[in-house]
Amino acid sequence: MKRSIIITLLVIAMLLLALANMLWGSLSIPVADVVQILLGGQVEAHPQWTYIILESRFPQMLTALLCGMSLSTCGLMLQTLFRNPLAGPSILGIDAGANLGVALVMLLLGGTVTLGSLSMSGYLLVIVAAVLGALCIMLLLLLLSSLLRNPVMLLITGVIISYVTGSVISLLNYSATEEGVHNFIIWGMGNFSGVSLDRLPLFCILIMLGLMAALLLVKPLDAILLGERYATNLGVNVHKTRNWLLLCTGLLTATTTAFCGPVSFLGLAVPHIARMTLRTSRHRVMLPGSMLMGGCLTLVCNLLCTMPRSGSIIPVNVLTPLIGAPVILYVILKKR
């Protein structure tokens, strides 16, 4: 099948899934009414529908969509940067870094940081801490990646990093106040419904920034596929590109982790699914392709997570390893 057709189909699938996410829930609301509410109208007989659609289903749908797009983009960029098919934000421990950053400010500093006259607290602080935590791990991995050429070794390093951050977090939990621990646990359970309508704009802006920056890196990313030296020979400033990639993946992973909690395996799996369907490595095709597939996949996850009628929500992390694990196995077996 031609790539343009696949991309078009993905766009259509994404739109349909987005609509399905708006319709699916404990309460059934007719399509016409959903559309009317989304366009700014009211349904006279059921004023509470407006609240359900705008305050709950719409933010949740958009969060799931952007989260999937951003994690798949990160996965693709990390796989290219480390030239390692097993790279991904969760498996390399980058979201664990974001986790640690958040734990540090929430548990150790009590949720407020004051630097001279600048005081930061609440959500903004959580995001900044998550970004810094993610960047630290990325830097560490980059330093180690020149020593760890073997894909599996890098993977093991990621697992070790996750364990170490995990133990630091336990230690922080142990010595923190009851309120701090409570806040941190609430945050850590996060899912796609964690972003409320008033926080949605900030989330959207941060993710869009990251996704746009990723798209701007299409050409150097292609060159980096050939290795550092070939890329340099093609006139690409490898050092600068690496820094941009670091910043971009750090921002995207940290933002999704800060708002939705750690979502595992998606970032690793989606680029492989995209490669299998699109049959190319060129980022001009792969980046939009992975974004769309990631978006579709999280929208499907969100549908499956929302139990109709009962209204209860299964954590996303219950589903994502079911998709991710077979892909990892496939990659390892193929590499053998």
Partner 1 sequence: MLDIKHLTTGYGSHVITHEINATLMPGELTSLLGSNGVGKSTLLRTLSTFLPPLSGEIVLQGKALGSLSASELSRLIGVVLTERPDVQNMTVRDMVSMGRSPYTGFWGRLTPKDEQYVTEAMKLAGITQLEHRMINTLSDGERQKVMIAKVLSQQTPVILLDEPTAFLDFPSKIEMMRLLRRLAHEMQKIIFLSTHDVEMALRLSDRLWIMHPGEVVIGKPAELSQNGELTRFIQVDGVRFDPVLMSYRILM
- By the criterion CB under 8 A, which residues form the site for partner 1? 83, 85, 216, 218-219, 222-223, 225-227, 229-230, 232-237, 275, 279-282, 284
The residues facing 112 across adjacent strands are 121
Residue 160 CB, nearest approach to partner 1 (Å): 25
Asked if residues 60 and 21 have their Cβ atoms less than 8 Å apart, the reply is yes
User: Smallest Cα–Cα separation from 133: which of 113, 170, 162, 91?
Assistant: 162
Q: Based on CB atoms, which residue is closest to partner 1, 57 or 275?
A: 275
Residue 227 CB, nearest approach to partner 1 (Å): 5
Half-sphere exposure of 221 (CA within 13 A, CB side): 25
List of residues 6+ apart from 262 with CB closer than 8 A: 90, 95, 96, 98, 99, 188, 317
Residue 235 CB, nearest approach to partner 1 (Å): 3
Residue 234 CB, nearest approach to partner 1 (Å): 5
Q: Based on CB atoms, which residue is closest to partner 1, 84 or 264?
A: 84
Residue 324 CB, nearest approach to partner 1 (Å): 19
Q: Based on CB atoms, which residue is closest to partner 1, 84 or 183?
A: 84
CA distance 220 to 230: 11
Q: Based on CB atoms, which residue is closest to partner 1, 76 or 125?
A: 76
Residue 237 CB, nearest approach to partner 1 (Å): 6
User: Smallest Cα–Cα separation from 306: which of 113, 81, 52, 134?
Assistant: 52
CA distance 285 to 156: 30
Q: Based on CB atoms, which residue is closest to partner 1, 80 or 253?
A: 80
Q: Based on CB atoms, which residue is closest to partner 1, 96 or 245?
A: 245
C-alpha torsion angle, residues 126, 131, 136, 142 (rounded to 10): 160
